[in-house]
Amino acid sequence: MYRTIATLFLWAICCTTISAAKPNLLLIVADDMGYGDLSCYGSQQIQTPNLDRLASGGVRCTNGYVSGSVCAPSRAGLMTGRYGGRFGFEHNLSHPEGLEDEFAGIPLDEILLPQRLKEQGYRTGLIGKWHLGESVAGHHPLERGFDFFFGMLGGSHAYFPTVEKNRLLFNHEAPQEIRTPYLTDWFTLEAIDFIQAEGKAKGMNGEQPWFLYLSYNTPHGPMQAKAEDIEQYAHIHNKTRQIYCAMQACMDQNIGKIIDSLESTGQLENTLIAFISDNGGSVEVSHAVNAPLRGTKGTFLEGGIRVPTIYHWPARLPRGKVYDKPVISLDVMNTFVIAAGGKVPSAGETEPRTGRGKNNLPIYDGVDLVPHFRGETKEAPHDTLYWRMALRGAAIREGDWKLLLPASQLPQLYNLKDDIGETTNLIQDQPETAARLLGKLVRWEGTLERNPLFISDPNWSQYNKRLYDKTFSLEQPLPDSEEDIWSF
């Protein structure tokens, strides 16, 4: 009996120590990954046991969103905790004539997530894709709060780099050798080195806590995979889909290596992991599957903005929980900073206002999700979510209602609770609801601080129209299906 009491006492002390220590923070972002391309989100073609492991050991969100339907504006929101439209970042990066160099990226007066975490004593690293500016020295990750950077400053990269042909950087220097042939594997090796590094500075609890932004470019094009991974999916008839599945499986295997490394070094229990995709899967280019959602990357249909969202933190979060209230990638800022012991401005504003908030402070849009996941509050994290890409469209979700305003189609109103695939436009049946949501969207637009600083080329308008006009499959393909559900 005394041994049992002593064991319980030691366990209580251990739990108290873990909860008191600052957690390590790991943000893993996939690139253009389909909502339906994890087995824990319904895929019948791709097995993702390691991401499933995170989901079963943490919180899996079924209404997880990003703030942009393409890469760069989504990542701008992720790093700031603010809708990109607030600071003029609504489109993928470009540098039109007349735009000052410093604005061809996240404006330098925006405070980014790693900067806030450094204030809390964290060692910070970025491995993988940046895509948030490189026109001036101040855009470089090392100038935006990261202590270490390995990856590419732009939006894509070939998966089999050579010393002679690559756009990779170690901090500011080009690599002198190729550590391993396939880029996803290489990013993982560098990530494991970062998380296993002995604390280079000592904090209150020994080793310095760390924050790692692991920004895979998988499964973004070009569609390139290792032969052994392609062989696993030789039964899939569509070649592009075959390569996509191989890339996805490879990423999952690498995430498994990272989980194993955290576990073997005793860090997994008190590491807060968030996993998302930067936007919905690209149906045309990479043959992603967003089913049961309609749409694709580049649209504000659900398939363009709703993404797999997983949070895992054994020391604080419930295990095996499915959370169905809407959350958004903007919440990573608050969730991580508050977990680290810091403070960020409260989520949103209760009353619309023009420009910045009180005392000229910026309006922040995220919330701390931990109390919601733990059941400490029954309120939804967000009453309303917004999206806008100037000249391409806009959308608003309030509760179960979503108003969609494509630039190339008439307005559409959907009830997502009853119609996740957005197949029945209710705007003629519910004109008052549509009008109310439109008014709310316009008021939100009035709180934005800048007009768009750059806009994608005009030819994208026709492409964007084609994305909205396509008929999308709302069902998962079977493992050996020969049906082509991707061609336009």
pLDDT tens, residue by residue, 21-39: 999 999 999 999 999 999 9
Q: Which pLDDT does position 297 carry in this prediction? A: 97
Reply yes or no on whether 71 is catalytic.
yes
1 Cβ neighbours under 8 A, 6+ residues apart: none
Instruction: State the average pLDDT over residues 257-281.
Output: 98
For residue 321, how far is the Cα from the chain centroid? Answer: 20
C-alpha to C-alpha distances, 159 to 93, 128, 184, 385, 394, nearest whole angstrom: 22, 12, 7, 35, 34
pLDDT band at 468 (very low <50, low <70, confident <90, very high): very high
Number of Cβ within 10 Å of residue 430's Cβ equals 17
Instruction: State the average pLDDT over residues 453-467.
Output: 91
Reply yes or no on whether 131 is catalytic.
yes
Q: Which pLDDT does position 198 carry in this prediction? A: 54
pLDDT tens readout for residues 50-83: 999 999 999 999 999 999 999 999 999 999 999 9
Q: Give the chain's mean pLDDT.
A: 92
Q: Which pLDDT does position 351 carry in this prediction? A: 42
pLDDT tens readout for residues 129-165: 999 999 999 999 999 999 999 999 999 999 999 999 9
- The CATH number corresponding to 22-382 among 3.90.230.10, 3.40.720.10, 3.40.140.80, 1.10.10.10 equals 3.40.720.10
Q: Which pLDDT does position 8 carry in this prediction? A: 37
Q: Which pLDDT does position 302 carry in this prediction? A: 98
pLDDT at 281 over 70: yes
Q: Which pLDDT does position 329 carry in this prediction? A: 98
234 Cβ neighbours under 8 A, 6+ residues apart: 242
Q: Which pLDDT does position 225 carry in this prediction? A: 98
Of the listed 61, 91, 131, 245, which one is catalytic? 131
Q: Which pLDDT does position 460 carry in this prediction? A: 86
User: Hey, what are 132's tokens?
Assistant: 């948030």
For residue 357, how far is the Cα from the chain centroid? Answer: 26
pLDDT tens readout for residues 407-445: 999 999 999 999 999 999 999 999 999 999 999 999 999
Among left, alpha and beta (phi > 0; psi -120 to 50; other), residue 273 is beta
Q: Which pLDDT does position 349 carry in this prediction? A: 42
pLDDT tens readout for residues 333-377: 999 999 999 987 654 444 444 556 666 678 999 999 999 999 999
Of the listed 71, 91, 157, 372, which one is catalytic? 71
What is the reported pTM? 0.93
Instruction: State the average pLDDT over residues 270-281.
Output: 98
Q: Which pLDDT does position 189 carry in this prediction? A: 98
Q: Which pLDDT does position 345 carry in this prediction? A: 64
Is residue 43 classed exposed, middle or buried when 0-12, 13-18 and 19+ CB atoms within 10 A define those classes? buried
Of 375, 378, 275, 271, the C-alpha closest to 321 is 375
Q: Which pLDDT does position 200 carry in this prediction? A: 44
pLDDT at 17 over 60: no
Let me know: does 388 contact 407? Beta carbons within 8 Å. no
Q: Which pLDDT does position 361 carry in this prediction? A: 75
Parallel/antiparallel/unpaired status of strands 327-328 and 321-323: unpaired
473 Cβ neighbours under 8 A, 6+ residues apart: 289, 291, 485
Instruction: State the average pLDDT over residues 187-206.
Output: 72
pLDDT at 10 over 50: no
